[in-house]
Amino acid sequence: MTRFGLAAGALAALLIGPAPIPASAHAQERPWTPLPSPTSYSCPDGVCQAQALAPLFRALDGRWGGTVRIVQFGDSHTAGRLITGALETRLRARFPDRDVRIEPIGVQNVTLSDLGWRTLPPQMAPVDLIILAYGTNEGFDDAFDAHAYDRLLRSEIQRIRALAPRAAILILSAPEAMRGDGVGNCPDDPERRWRAPVNLGVV
């Protein structure tokens, strides 16, 4: 994922104030169109094999005590708590008597190959749910190999099961993303600023 920053000149311009806009320059405003809710063609209800989440449900109903431990591995979406923050808020609101603990382990710009360097935090043992949230950066990789990705994913799942045999494993589909690197491929972007991950659907 791309990290946005301000150069010194841009920061100075913000502090001083906007420069006058030439009369010949104008921005075209596009109406906002809400996107439909994401659906999965392979999982019509949005979740495949929901019964595999039984360890999480047992933790939530208090069968294993009052603490629910969740660890999520991923890229910048995980590092920024974009997913884990919302999940933590909802679980605590729905299960106020449970001590919900979510540990996000995310690194910007990484792919699934980074997971091999990660392990479960000792303070989160025994973990009830492990979330794998990769795929966005793979979607931007023009040399993406779906077969190699499948083999790596299966290998990492086996490794994680050995580390936490009691835990449920949830694989999140990669969310939509854009990169403003100036080589855009979006038809509604005449300035060619934004690039969509062409391989995201393959991931």
Query: Where does residue 66 rank: exposed (0-12), middle (13-18), buried (19+ CB within 10 A)?
Result: exposed
- Position 131 scores a pLDDT of 94
Query: What pLDDT, on a 0 to 100 scale, did the predictor assign at position 12?
Result: 28
Rounded Cα distance between 101 and 66, Å, is: 11
The least confident of 14-28, 60-74, 85-99, 142-156 is 14-28
Model pLDDT, residue 112: 80
pLDDT band at 11 (very low <50, low <70, confident <90, very high): very low
DSSP string, 15-54: HH-PPPPPTT--PPP----PPPPP--SS-TTS-S-GGGGH
Model confidence band, residue 188 (pLDDT cutoffs 50, 70, 90)? low
Residue keyed to tokens 């939509």: 176
**Residue 44: C-alpha distances to residues 41, 150, 201 (Å):** 6, 22, 16
Q: Which domains does the chain have, with CATH numbers?
A: 46-203 (3.40.50.1110)
Q: Shortest CA distance to 128 belongs to which of 153, 91, 155, 175?
A: 91
Q: In this predicted structure, which of 25-29, 87-91, 182-186, 193-197 has the lowest mean pLDDT?
A: 25-29
Q: What is the share, in percent, of the chain residues with pLDDT greater than 90? A: 29
Confidence of residue 5 (pLDDT cuts 50, 70, 90): very low
Per-residue confidence (pLDDT) for residue 80, from 0 to 100: 85
CB 68 within 8 A of CB 128: yes
Q: How does residue 20 score in pLDDT terms, banded at 50, 70 and 90?
A: very low
Dump pLDDT digits (tens) for 61-111: 987 788 999 999 988 888 888 788 899 999 999 999 999 999 999 888 787
**Is the pLDDT confidence value at 183 over 80?**
no
Q: What is the mean pLDDT of the segment spanning 4-11?
A: 32
Omega before residue 20 within 30° of 0, cis: no
